[in-house]
Amino acid sequence: MNKKGLSEKEVLNLLNKAMQKDTSYEKVLSAMCTRPHPIAVKAHMQFIASNMGDFGLFSGTRELESKVIKMMGNLLGDPNACGYITTGGTESNIQALRTARNQSKKKHPNVIVPASAHFSFDKIADLLGIEIRKASLDSEFKVDMDSVNALLDDNTIALVGIAGSTEFGQVDPIDSLAEIALSNNLFLHVDAAFGGFVIPFLDKKYDFDFSVEGVTSITADPHKMGLSTIPAGGLLFREEACLLPLEIDTPYLTIRKQHSLAGTRSGAAAAAAYAVMTHLGMEGYRKLVHSCMKMTHRLVEGVREFGIEPLIEPVMNIVALDVPDLEEVRKELRQKGWITSITRTPRAMRLIIMPHMSEAALLMFISDFGECLRNTKK
Ligand code: PLP
């Protein structure tokens, strides 16, 4: 640290310099986060000092958090769901499986996840001492039910289904997973970190949430397609009893118990999620998702003209393209400013059409993509 403090102007200059090195979202096709809605930013600033780690001091913010959970419960098939605003999908997934582990009391617990599961489940294996078993995927990148059944044994404590997989945007057959969960008395967690704010607004209906009997918990993140500020994840349980295995005594706070993983946690995130959800409403999110889906279909149409096919017809605003000379094409696109990413198996170009993408930028991407393809073929 510098010995003497700098002036505000000097500090702001330093911040501006640092910000210039950050990538602005315009040409980013790899991110699951986006620019937050302006009303979320306003609410975030207003509640910047609020700490949900000691919510006895911040009962107004706590009310907002409860309202967010209520709105999310309504969105995800159970108005009586309970939970809290986490730091993101990772914390929500950790906490859901921590509940499953603590409830089961098995000595060598295992959890079956699809091979498409987000890497947060590898962190969970390490943190919670749970064996994570990866079930294979079918030709459409949904979890293969035969594989799930084959991995099941007496030490299985939970199943995980993904509603909006990170790489393919695919939705697992949650109803089939629920049947197995119910008949084996297993915890069923649905990771809808991305899909939670997309699937309810698609034209096609999917059974993926608490409306499916047997679903125990859901991850759904306001800081992804919810357009809220970072860090705002959502963890919802069907039963209040699921929060009990997470509870810890907090003798020196204004509250007696805490069930979050983080201690001090952002009240600003809860206020921001409340603000944007209340402001957009169901109609606003529907429009947003429709616009992203329209651009997603336009993208697929555009690349098909170059003979490029998606691995699956896009379910949501995530596309995996089968591109020859993938790394070369990505490198060329990078030189034109476009940030793309990849899927693991099979290796394909992964593109996410987030609300920060404009139609003009998308058309420019399609044109640049065609040019890069032609250049790499030369
Ligand atoms: N689950 C899924 C399906 C995701 O796509 C992601 C992130 O992309 C996560 C969990 C982790 O979320 P976070 O980065 O907010 O911890």
Query: Which atom of ligand 1 is the closest one to the Cα of 117?
Result: 3
CATH assignment of 38-279, given 3.90.550.10, 3.30.70.260, 3.40.640.10, 1.10.150.20? Answer: 3.40.640.10
Q: Where are the beta strands (DSSP E) in 205-348?
A: 217-219, 233-237, 248-249, 257-258, 309-310, 318-322, 341-342
Q: What pLDDT shows up at residue 218?
A: 99
Query: Which atom of ligand 1 is the closest one to the Cα of 93?
Result: 10
The architecture of the domain spanning 15-36+281-377 is Alpha-Beta Complex (3.90)
- How many other C-beta atoms are found inside a 10 Å radius of the C-beta of residue 205? 9
Q: Among residues 59, 56, 65, 32, which one has the least CA distance to residue 227?
A: 32
- How many other C-beta atoms are found inside a 10 Å radius of the C-beta of residue 164? 29
Domain locations along the chain? 15-36+281-377, 38-279
Tell whether ligand 1 has an atom less than 6 A from the beta carbon of residue 116. no
Q: What pLDDT shows up at residue 24?
A: 93
Give the residues of the chain that fall short of pLDDT 70: none
Tell whether ligand 1 has an atom less than 6 A from the beta carbon of residue 78. no
- Cα(69) to ligand 1 centroid in Å equals 19
Tell whether ligand 1 has an atom less than 6 A from the beta carbon of residue 161. no
Q: How buried is residue 8: exposed, middle or buried, by Cβ count under 10 Å (0-12/13-18/19+)?
A: exposed
Q: What pLDDT shows up at residue 236?
A: 98
Q: From CA 328, how far away is CA 282, in angstroms rounded?
A: 41
- The reply to whether domains 15-36+281-377 and 38-279 share a CATH topology is no
Q: What is the pLDDT of residues 235-282, one digit of tens each?
A: 999 999 999 999 999 999 999 999 999 999 999 999 999 999 999 999
Tell whether ligand 1 has an atom less than 6 A from the beta carbon of residue 44. no
Quote the distance between the C-alpha of residue 78 and its chain's center: 19
